[in-house]
């Protein structure tokens, strides 16, 4: 029975959980090859966890497996609370894998006088560098100054302010460059109106893997988590939320979770979840951000180039191996989060911004190899989208449902700490001393127990010395994706040597990573591996379609997919890659 309170009156709704259509029914499974060790965070773990979710009672149930939800689950579990977490799709499948892939203070927010937000973000940048050194990497950013002496003076003041707010967390002191020095470092930049520039350091991150590492860390501390598990209703008793109803999206079976506190951390879906039990105005004003990927040959930058447009948006041009990606837009969007995509006008805006900054670079829509788009779950506010604060808000309804909205990837850990502090003070005041303070600042994420990553990586690459046919680039990639867990990949290859071979002759991704994704990262579908366990969807020729067949074969053998299911997985992935093309491209130049 589902109780919903509307306008102070309690209504009883009889709801039936419909079974998913045929293509979402259970995927047949068999026991995997006995030659492989069973991982702790596997597809079998998911099945066990689904049973536990309906059988056990929890202190906290978290709805949402993005960065914020993952951070809340990890913080609460580290304090000793019993925690459940569900995600309607795959972990990080929403906005947490659709970011600009940066961990930064937000230099442009200084101009909006959001001093506290910038200080917090710079502090969190330092924390994440310590607890996830394999995933968060400092890299030089070049900020060209266009507009004369006054503009250069404004940027200089911003640089001093940024460095002062970072304090001890400063990565490398900023460097001021003359006009000629800027052009020497980035020859493609437009010299017209250029008065100089600055080099400062911020960080890049693999956003999907950062979220996954946080989820795994929560699990290692006892949290019960499951992907592809949707919240379809909230249960109330005497006007208080006591749990939620869930549905396994892969089988259509229903269940429920009982919890003392339910936290809605579903990002762009937060209002939809909230309206299941709370009537009122929306909390969110979602804005859409898109990114495009082009060949590095078309736009060969040496730094991350940052540029502020005339309308106040921040555009970043980021080198990534053989590719360069460009982002982001910031526009109001009322589309359902799952249907958001890159439209022609979005892409044209970014390409136009690039052509203003790079003199002889002329990118057309046909040069775009891939796109990604997501919604920022920002707090509802007036003004232009770019002026909306990136701060966060914790809302607690009268029935006890807690909803967290806003924020940014960089501050997800401190947001989570604030949410758990609020849970303890409001719902468990007598036990707050027992659970204690947050421990997430000093506890490394999964794979991140490395004090000096660069020295560690250098030693491992040198020590491997081309063993087992692995190139230095392959080994370095393993380290930057898995940290100390790279040893689990190698262990699989030692059991079956062919697994240390790449997926194709020009790929750096090993076959063993596919097995690892199922056994230790709860990958359930082909798309999980291609887009979020690796980044083949966006940073491989043709969206990784050339190796998708081999990945599907390996997954099918391990998970017991038949021929029909393997084909369905491939068809769905090819469709997903096709959907990354620009919408409305027909008839465009």
- Given the structure tokens 């102070």, which residue do they identify? 8
Model confidence over 272-295: pLDDT tens digits?
A: 999 998 877 899 999 999 999 999
pLDDT: is 579 or 90 the higher one?
Answer: 90
Look at residue 242 and give its three-state secondary structure: strand
Query: How far is Cα 187 from Cα 198, in angstroms, rounded to an integer?
Result: 15
- Residue 280, C-beta contacts closer than 8 angstroms, at least 6 positions apart: none
- Residue 295 burial (C-beta neighbours within 10 Å; 0-12, 13-18, 19+): middle
Model confidence over 523-540: pLDDT tens digits?
A: 999 999 999 999 999 999
pTM across the whole model: 0.92
Mean pLDDT of 201-228: 98
Mean pLDDT of 227-241: 96
Specify which of 225-229, 373-377, 381-385 reaches the highest per-range mean pLDDT. Answer: 225-229
pLDDT at 384: 59
Model confidence over 418-438: pLDDT tens digits?
A: 999 999 999 999 888 889 999
Mean confidence (pLDDT) of the chain = 90
Query: How far is Cα 277 from Cα 588, in angstroms, rounded to an integer?
Result: 45
Neighbours of 76 (CB within 10 A): 31
Give DSSP secondary structure letters for 499-567. GGSBSSTT---BHHHHHHHHHHS---SHHIIIIIIS-TTTSSGGGGHHHHHHHHHHHHHHHT--HHHHH
Helix (H) or strand (E) holding 45: helix 43-55
Q: Which of 24-33, 39-48, 446-455 has the lowest mean pLDDT?
A: 24-33
- β pairing state of 194-205 and 175-177: antiparallel
Sign of the CA dihedral running 330, 332, 337, 338: negative
Query: How far is Cα 96 from Cα 102, in angstroms, rounded to an integer?
Result: 11
- Given the structure tokens 């794979």, which residue do they identify? 447
Mean pLDDT of 391-417: 95
- Residue 6, C-beta contacts closer than 8 angstroms, at least 6 positions apart: 279
Torsion of CA 171, 175, 179, 183, to 10 degrees: -40
pLDDT at 32: 46
Please, which pLDDT band fits residue 21 given cuts at 50, 70 and 90? very low
- Residue 123, C-beta contacts closer than 8 angstroms, at least 6 positions apart: 169, 414
Please, which pLDDT band fits residue 382 given cuts at 50, 70 and 90? very low
**pLDDT at 474 > cutoff 70:** yes
Q: What is the CA angle 548-350-530, rounded to 5?
A: 15
The closest of 342, 256, 312, 331 to 57, measured between CA atoms, is: 256
Query: How far is Cα 428 from Cα 448, in angstroms, rounded to an integer?
Result: 31
**Two structure tokens written together for 204:** 């890049």
Mean pLDDT of 198-206: 98
Specify whether the CB–CB gap between 206 and 128 falls below 8 A: no
pLDDT at 39: 76
**Two structure tokens written together for 490:** 């190698």
pLDDT at 8: 34
Please, which pLDDT band fits residue 2 given cuts at 50, 70 and 90? very low
Query: How far is Cα 501 from Cα 578, in angstroms, rounded to an integer?
Result: 28
Specify whether the CB–CB gap between 380 and 373 falls below 8 A: no
With b meaning 16 or more CB within 10 Å and e meaning fewer, what string describes 227-256? bbbbbbbbbbeeeebbbbbbbbbbbeebbe
Mean pLDDT of 46-54: 96
The closest of 554, 469, 458 to 514, measured between CA atoms, is: 554
Q: What domains can be seen in the chain, in order of their start residue?
A: 51-101+206-284+384-449 (3.50.50.60), 124-203+285-383 (3.30.9.10), 453-578 (1.10.8.870)
3-state helix, strand, coil in the chain (%, to 5): 40, 25, 35
Q: Which of 106-115, 181-190, 547-556 has the lowest mean pLDDT?
A: 106-115
Mean pLDDT of 459-479: 92
**Two structure tokens written together for 216:** 């795994």
Residue 376 is classified by DSSP as: E
Specify whether the CB–CB gap between 283 and 393 falls below 8 A: yes
**Two structure tokens written together for 587:** 């008839």
How far from chain centre, in Å, is Cα 404?
A: 17
Percent of residues, the chain, with pLDDT higher than 90: 79
Query: How far is Cα 502 from Cα 510, in angstroms, rounded to an integer?
Result: 4
């Amino acid at each position: 029975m589902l109780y919903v309170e509307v306008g102070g009156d309690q209504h009883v709704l009889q709801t039936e959980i419909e079974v998913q259509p045929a293509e979402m029914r259970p995927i047949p499974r068999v026991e995997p090859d006995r030659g492989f060790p069973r991982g702790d965070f596997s597809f079998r773990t998911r099945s066990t966890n689904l049973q536990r979710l309906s059988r056990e009672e929890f202190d906290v149930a978290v709805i949402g497996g993005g960065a914020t939800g993952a951070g809340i689950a990890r913080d609460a579990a580290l304090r000793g609370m019993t925690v459940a977490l569900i995600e309607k799709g795959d972990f990080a499948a929403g906005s947490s894998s659709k970011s600009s892939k940066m961990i930064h203070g937000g230099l442009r927010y200084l101009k909006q006088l959001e001093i506290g937000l910038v200080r917090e973000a710079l502090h969190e940048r330092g924390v994440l560098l310590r607890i996830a050194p394999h995933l968060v990497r400092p890299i030089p950013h070049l900020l060209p100054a266009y507009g004369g002496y006054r503009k250069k003076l404004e940027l200089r003041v911003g640089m001093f302010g940024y460095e002062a707010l970072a304090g001890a967390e400063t990565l490398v002191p900023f460097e001021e460059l003359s006009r000629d020095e800027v052009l020497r470092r980035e020859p493609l930049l437009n010299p017209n109106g250029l008065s100089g520039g600055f080099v400062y350091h911020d960080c890049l991150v693999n956003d999907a893997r950062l979220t996954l590492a946080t989820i795994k860390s929560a699990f290692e501390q006892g949290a019960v988590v499951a992907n592809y598990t949707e919240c379809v209703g909230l249960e109330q008793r005497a006007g208080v939320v006591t749990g939620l109803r869930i549905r396994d999206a892969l089988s259509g079976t229903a269940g429920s979770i009982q919890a003392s506190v339910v936290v809605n951390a579903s990002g762009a879906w937060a209002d939809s979840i909230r309206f299941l039990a709370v009537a009122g105005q929306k909390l969110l004003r979602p804005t859409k951000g898109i990114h495009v990927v082009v060949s590095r040959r078309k736009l060969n930058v040496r730094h991350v180039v940052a540029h502020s447009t005339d309308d106040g948006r921040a555009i970043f041009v980021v080198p990534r191996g053989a590719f360069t990606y460009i982002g982001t837009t910031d526009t109001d969007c009322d589309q359902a989060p799952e249907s958001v995509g890159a439209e022609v006008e979005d892409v044209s805006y970014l390409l136009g911004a690039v052509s203003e900054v790079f003199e002889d670079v002329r990118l057309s829509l046909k040069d775009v190899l891939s796109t990604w788009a997501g919604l920022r779950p920002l707090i509802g506010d007036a003004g232009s989208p770019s002026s909306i604060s990136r701060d966060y808000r914790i809302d607690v309804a009268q029935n006890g449902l807690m909803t967290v909205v806003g924020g940014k990837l960089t501050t997800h850990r401190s947001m989570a700490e604030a949410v758990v502090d609020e849970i303890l003070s409001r719902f468990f005041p007598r036990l707050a001393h027992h659970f204690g303070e947050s421990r997430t600042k000093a506890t490394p994420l999964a794979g991140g127990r490395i004090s000096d990553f660069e020295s560690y990586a250098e030693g491992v690459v040198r020590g491997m010395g081309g063993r087992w046919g692995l190139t230095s680039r392959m080994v370095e990639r393993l380290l930057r994706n898995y940290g100390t867990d790279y040893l689990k990949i190698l262990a699989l290859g030692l059991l079956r040597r062919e697994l240390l071979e790449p997926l194709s002759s020009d790929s750096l991704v090993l076959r063993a990573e596919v097995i690892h994704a199922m056994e230790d990262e709860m990958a359930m579908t082909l798309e999980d591996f291609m887009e979020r366990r690796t980044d083949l969807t966006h940073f491989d020729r043709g969206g990784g379609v050339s190796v998708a067949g081999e990945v599907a074969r390996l997954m099918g053998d391990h998970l017991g997919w038949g021929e029909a299911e393997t084909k369905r997985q491939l068809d769905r992935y090819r469709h997903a890659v096709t959907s990354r093309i620009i919408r409305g491209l027909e008839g465009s130049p």
